[in-house]
Structures are given as structure tokens and as C-alpha cells.
Amino acid sequence: MINSVRNTVLSVLNKNNYGYISPSDFNLYAKQAQMEVFEEYFSQYNKIVNMENARMSGTSYADLGKVLQEAIEVFSVTSSLSQVSPGTNRYYLPSVPTTGYDYYMINKVLCYDASGLTRVFKGEAEKVNHSKITMLNNSLLTAPTETYPAYIQEGGIMTVYPDTINLQNEVDAQYFRYPKDPKWTYITLFNGEPSFDQSQLDYQDFEVPIEDEYKLVVKILQYAGVSIREGEVVQFGMGQEQLQQQPNFS
């Protein structure tokens, strides 16, 4: 899809003699455009859920919610969290060094008993703030248990309660990762023109659904218009984006 998006962007720019964007600039704009589309999934999905809860939506919104949910689930990852140090109830949050991915949002924290030969699920931990965890721990009635655990976040570390949850492989996080940075890779021809080559090791296509190719084109055109100081390109991109959004949330 990334080559199709780039060809469309260049076609729009060349048609009106607006200028040219280099592969490196395109990759930068593509990264930002994909992040915008990715973040819109969550904001639009939350809006639909709120409308459903308020009984303000119809069947068309339910269908749109399902489409957005499927797009979001592509980025869902479940990983076992690494301990900060053995025997403690502190675990590293998902990151490239620890789980292979940076997290955008944590959805669930699942706790297990890993003391035996097989892991046994204990409960889903509730996220609480620092002031609340102190109150909970000091109460005999509300103190977290292994069946009803809790956790707090501080920087890149998660602390899980009760502190008897303190073994490796006892805490999993189900989270939504960031999309991988798209990269249009190429070889340089004899005339100096770049030619698309997806066999390069650092090649990366967009991870959003192909249905959102139009959104990517429009957003990249907006970035390109700002870069080459062509107000008409920016206005064109913004106008097309507004037209696209009207049917969904008018």
C-alpha cells in the first residue's frame, strides 16, 4: 500500500506543479499520517461507545464500531512483563527492550500463580492512583488480594499488589502497541530517480487497513503542502479530510 500512497501523493503534486518531496521526507510524513489515523481509531471508537451507552446511536454506528474495533485489534499484544529485580512486585512496562514493542495504551493486566509447573490465572488487576493504593493497603476490607489485585504506574515501572505477586511470569499485560514506522524503500536508477524496492531489509508497509489509504494520502498532502509552502495543497488536503469525515459524524 505504501507505494500506491506515494504514487498518488506525487501525482497530485506533479499535476499542479506544486513540487517534489524526497523519499526521506515522504517517510517522515507517512509516519505522522499513520499515527494520526491510528489515534483517530481510539477517539472515534470511544465516541461511538459513549453514544451507544447514551442510546443515541443506530445500527450504522454499531457497524462502524465493529470496523474500528477490528482495526484497533491489529495492534493488540499480550506479553509477559519482566521484573525489575527478582523477588519484587515491580515489573517493567512494555517497551522495545522488554517486550519488543512500546505500548500506546494498556488494556488489561493479568496476574498468575507461576510457582508450579504451569501458570494458573488468579485475577485481572485494577489500575489505581498512588493515593488510593495507600488507602487500600491500609484497609483490611479493601486491601488487594491475589484474586483481586491492583497496580500503580510510575515512569516505566508497574508495581503490583499484593506484594506476594513477585515471581517472573506472574504478570502479563494486554496492550495496544504503536504502529511500526512505515518506510518506502528504493534503489537509485542511472538517471538518479528512486525506484520502489520492497526487498530492502528496512522496508515497512503501512499497518492500517487498506480502506484508510485515502486518509493517508490526504494527511500526507497536508504535511507536504506545509513543507513546500503551498497553501493550496494544505487547503486541498484539509478540505478532502472534512468531506470524508462528514458522513460518519454529521
Rg of the chain over Cα atoms, rounded to whole angstroms, equals 23
**pLDDT of res. 154:** 92
pLDDT of 11 reads 85
User: pLDDT at position 235, please?
Assistant: 57
6 vs 182: CA distance, rounded Å: 12
Select the more confidently predicted residue: 36 or 47: 36
Report, as an integer, the average pLDDT of 27-33.
Answer: 94
pLDDT digit string (tens) for 88-125? 999 999 999 999 999 999 999 999 998 888 899 999 99
- Residue with the bigger pLDDT between 96 and 50: it is 96
When the pLDDT of each residue in the chain is averaged and rounded to a whole number, the result is 84
- Region of residue 107 (phi > 0: left; psi between -120 and 50: alpha; otherwise: beta): alpha
pLDDT of 53 strictly over 80: no
CA separation (Å) from 81 to 2, 5, 78, 95, 158? Answer: 33, 37, 9, 10, 9
Predicted pLDDT of residue 107: 93
Q: Which SS3 state, helix, strand or coil, does residue 224 take?
A: helix
The reported pTM is 0.77
Which pLDDT band, with edges at 50, 70 and 90, does 149 fall under?
very high
